[in-house]
Structure 1
C-alpha cells in the first residue's frame, strides 16, 4: 500500500461520495481546479455550486470551466461560503453528496485575504445540514500562516465536538513533515 498525498487523498474521498448526476459544492473555488474536478464527476446531469469572495478567483474559475467545456453545470457565487444555505436552491437541500474546501489564501493571489474560522465553521454547519446521508465534506487545511493556525485550531475544536450519531470525522495528516504541511478533515454524514 502506498500512502496518498493530501490532495490525491482528498479527491479519493470525493470520488467515493460523488457520482454522475449528483450535487456538489466547492466552498473555495480559488483557481477552479476542484470546481472543474467536481463538474467532470457530476457530468451534464449534476450540479456544482462554487463560492469565493475574490473576483479574481471567480474569473479564473469561469475561464477554466469555459476552456474545458464544463461551465453549464456550475453556478458560481462571488460571496462567502457562509451564504451556502441561502444561495443554494432549497430543492437541492438534503441532496449534496460532496463538498471540498481548500482553506487559506488564493494561490498566486493576495495572501492577506484568507478564509476565517467564523465563516468556515458556519459554512460547514450549513453544508452538513444540506448533505445527503453518506455525503462527504473535505476540508484541506493550510496552516503555514498565522491566520491558518487560528482557523485550524478552531475548526479542530468544532469538528471534535460534532455528534458521532450525526457524522463521522476523520483527520488525515502526515506527522513527520516540517513546515506545517496541509492536512485533511473529512466529515461524512451518517
Structure 2
C-alpha cells in the first residue's frame, strides 16, 4: 500500500471534510486543477449529489476528465459539472445551497506557472460560495503562495476572512510550523447555525 501523509494539506482537508458532506448534497470545487478534489467530492455526495468544478484552464478540465474516467465515473452526467470558467462566476452556475466548497489557490501543478489565481477573483468566488453555503456548511481554502503574486493574494484573502462576521461564520487557520519556503496555509470557514 502506498503511504500518503495525513498531514499533506489536501489530504488533511479531505480527512476533515469526509464526514461533513451529506449524501445528495451540492458541492463546489472552485479550483479543479488535476481533479483530486473533484473526485473526492464526487465520492462523498453519492448518487444523488452534484459536484460543480471550475477552472479557467482547458488542461485542468482534460486532466480532471482523465482522472474521472480512470475511476470509472461517467463525466457526461449532470452529477459532475466540469465548467471551463473562472470561479468568480460560481453564482452564474450554482443556484442551490451547498454543503462544501473547496479552493486550492496558486497555479495548476505541472501546468503553466504564469497562470495563477488572483486575489480579486478569488474573493469574488469566496463571496459567492459564502452566499450559497448552508448552515454548518464548510469552505476550505488551501493557500499556496510561494509564487509571484501569491503573497498579495494570501494577504488580501486573510484580510477578507478575518473580517467575516463572527456571529455568522467561524474561521480557522491551520499552518505548518517547521516547513520552509512558504508552506501552504489552510483556512476553514464554517457557517454558524
Does the pair score TM above 0.5? yes
Alignment of 1:86-101 (within 5 A): 86-88=92-94, 90=95, 92=96, 95-101=97-103
Any unmatched runs of 5+ in structure 1? Answer: none
Tell me how many residue pairs correspond in the alignment: 185
Does the residue aligned with 1:16 lie in a helix, a strand or coil? coil
TM-score (norm 2): 0.91
Alignment of 1:145 with 2:147, yes or no, is yes
Alignment of 1:19 with 2:25, yes or no, is no
Shift of 1:166: 1.1
TM-score (norm 1): 0.93
Partner of 1:104: 106
Cα distance between partner residues in 2 of 1:21 and 1:124: 22
Alignment of 1:36-75 (within 5 A): 36-70=39-73, 71=75, 72=77, 73-75=79-81
Moved more, 144-153 or 156-165: 144-153
Partner of 2:84: 78
* Segments of 4+ moved more than 3 angstroms: 2-5
Partner of 2:160: 158
Cα distance between partner residues in 2 of 1:23 and 1:3: 26
Cα distance between partner residues in 2 of 1:49 and 1:135: 16
The CA RMSD measured in Å over matched residues stands at 1.5
Shift of 1:3: 7.8
CA deviations on 1:116-172 (whole Å, 9 max, x unpaired) are 000000110110110110110000000111211111010001100000011100000
